Structure 1
């Protein structure tokens, strides 16, 4: 059944040179050819976007309608579909880094509630996804598969029970950055967290982890780890960008680094973003690169020209086609690598469940 669900299906989004939403602009004939190829590819291998912060934005505006385009936020269903997005990881991280642990837990639970309400409000467009099969099934039904997470590792507060409670609520990704059990290397409790995440098929998100901690986490996890939104530190030494050392650790662990669309981290143009995607692929390998734009914010956050909202995805794919990327490698970038990481995590979980109980 899983193999059948993984088969390419009909288009899940109306993508194409004439359906690129608010970013639609005339293009030269050669560019139109690449855009048409990009649209065709995305109709079969849509984007599995590793990061969108819309849930936090909607928490501030709970009655905002994402079924229609609105200049007040950069993400809505029409632009997700115009960009060929078939799966979305909805970030549940909170911007209140200095908040007390109980406030972080409260904020996270409220965001889970907002996210679940979002799924119920738009059932024809968004489908809660818990497994890799759900990812494929949502695509085949014309919905955007919606994964919950990451949640902050700080929310666990020395409790594996809290981790299992988040799993029961549908969360499938945890970000250890800033958690006392992973800040200066994994503590004994930190090792137990990673083992339990492996048993539950929850992904470890290394976003924001320093190099030493990231490499240690990648080595400690039996399942592939991800970095849900990042860029190459070798091209831009921004503190949020990932070093080649970490990319090599990801490659060895079968992990996935998902490139963001953020001017401060990538540069101010589509070409600059493509440079980061190229570099991550060169170091982490074709199976180690994905896309995690980190859309979902209110207008004003600097974005690279041509990639100011999800409708710009076909432009990036067209640029990579022009750079000589094969359609096979592009299908891994957009969809295949995310699906493979989820499947590998589930395989690891089945093996761990035979060895370890809750």
Structure 2
């Protein structure tokens, strides 16, 4: 165990996805403050050896319809304000080199990734503006299909207009992201969209928070064929910690709670109107999720191990989805417990060098490769 703790402490650990910016904006919460019911704070990150975080910039599509850019900019501002207010502890990073420099200076590396291409409002100018503000990846869809890319989250919804993957404009978006040096994130997209993105992109792609479909059948997860394709592309798949994407039984139990979840949402809507703060709804849903047995910690490790074996150790990472999910696997209560992932994988035979790759080195490589391909 001591060896694993030392390996973890000596690694540059990068998390590909956390929804904490909602707290900055909706609660006025400080990243340097106490967790207060959350999953990620500066203190928890330090305790768990986390050195860098891609903060998700997510405009909930129902609540922020016709105001996507407004919410997106508010969340970006929330992240940038944390860096401005805490310059001794936090550093905004826009490149792989800046992450390494921040880590050497013992500062927490703050990065941003947009979750959901609806945030660009079908405007490449907005995409470029987000890049100028520091955004370094974009998830092409969230659970909603937008005007130019299909999501895995609403394929069964007959009221949604689907495109069979990417539209012509969607291809323009991918190529403009390549030109900028913004990583293309295929988490959440439909299978057809995934394969078309790999055909279009001239540089490696990422999946910032996706688990293995061979182990849990959620359509959000990636098949073995997809894992191998991302590896062949030179990219990286970062495993999601959400129990619904780790275990089919947990997901089915959570779906069974939908009537109660809907009633809770209706109660909050009556109180707040259509602008129910995400963090308020999240707390209520966490209380409901707490009724369900926690998915075993070993199940999370199974997913990471599976991706590493299928895609290869050079193409796996972690994308926790902290503060964007209702529950975590057993043994993981916050970022402070991330060292346990290293300990469990080393017990399964992973070497110190393999852990350094998995914990952050792989993402650094892809980040650098995408930046090097900018202008193509």
TM range (shorter): 0.7 to 0.9
Write the distance in 2 (CA, Å) between the matches of 1:286 and 1:327.
12
Q: Deviations over 1:29-63 (max 9, x none)?
A: xxxxx2x222212232121000111101222101x
Contact in 2 for aligned 1:261/1:307 (Cα 8 Å):
no
Contact in 2 for aligned 1:181/1:189 (Cα 8 Å):
yes
Cα offset, 1:321, TM superposition: 0.4
What 5-or-longer segments of structure 1 have no aligned partner?
1-33, 353-358
Equivalent residues in 2 for 1:1-358, closer than 5 Å: 34=1, 36-62=2-28, 64-94=29-59, 96-99=60-63, 101-177=65-141, 178-183=145-150, 184=163, 185-267=165-247, 268-297=295-324, 301-349=326-374, 352=376
Cα offset, 1:67, TM superposition: 2.0
Cα offset, 1:65, TM superposition: 3.2
SS, match of residue 109 in structure 2: strand
For residue 21 of structure 1, what is the aligned residue in structure 2? none
**Worse-matched range after superposition: 222-231 or 68-77:** 68-77
Contact in 1 for aligned 2:17/2:319 (Cα 8 Å):
yes
Contact in 2 for aligned 1:132/1:343 (Cα 8 Å):
yes
**Worse-matched range after superposition: 107-116 or 239-248:** 239-248
SS, match of residue 88 in structure 2: coil
Write the distance in 2 (CA, Å) between the matches of 1:115 and 1:66.
9
Contact in 2 for aligned 1:101/1:154 (Cα 8 Å):
no
Write the distance in 1 (CA, Å) between the matches of 2:56 and 2:246.
20
Cα offset, 1:102, TM superposition: 2.6
Write the distance in 1 (CA, Å) between the matches of 2:174 and 2:35.
40
Contact in 1 for aligned 2:96/2:368 (Cα 8 Å):
yes
- Normalising by structure 1, we get a TM-score of 0.84
Write the distance in 2 (CA, Å) between the matches of 1:290 and 1:191.
26
Contact in 2 for aligned 1:74/1:297 (Cα 8 Å):
no
Contact in 2 for aligned 1:57/1:297 (Cα 8 Å):
no
Write the distance in 2 (CA, Å) between the matches of 1:103 and 1:138.
34
SS, match of residue 349 in structure 2: coil
Contact in 2 for aligned 1:101/1:157 (Cα 8 Å):
no
What 5-or-longer segments of structure 2 have no aligned partner?
151-162, 248-294
Cα gap change, 1:263/1:167 in structure 2, threshold over 3 Å: closer, same or farther? same
Task: Extract structure 1 runs of 4+ deviating beyond 4 A.
Answer: none
**Worse-matched range after superposition: 232-241 or 183-192:** 183-192
Contact in 1 for aligned 2:91/2:108 (Cα 8 Å):
yes
SS, match of residue 245 in structure 2: helix
- Normalising by structure 2, we get a TM-score of 0.80
Cα offset, 1:194, TM superposition: 1.2
Q: Deviations over 1:243-294 (max 9, x none)?
A: 2222122011111110111222224122110000011111111111000111
Cα offset, 1:66, TM superposition: 3.0
**Worse-matched range after superposition: 334-343 or 182-191:** 182-191
Write the distance in 2 (CA, Å) between the matches of 1:270 and 1:146.
27
Write the distance in 2 (CA, Å) between the matches of 1:173 and 1:167.
9
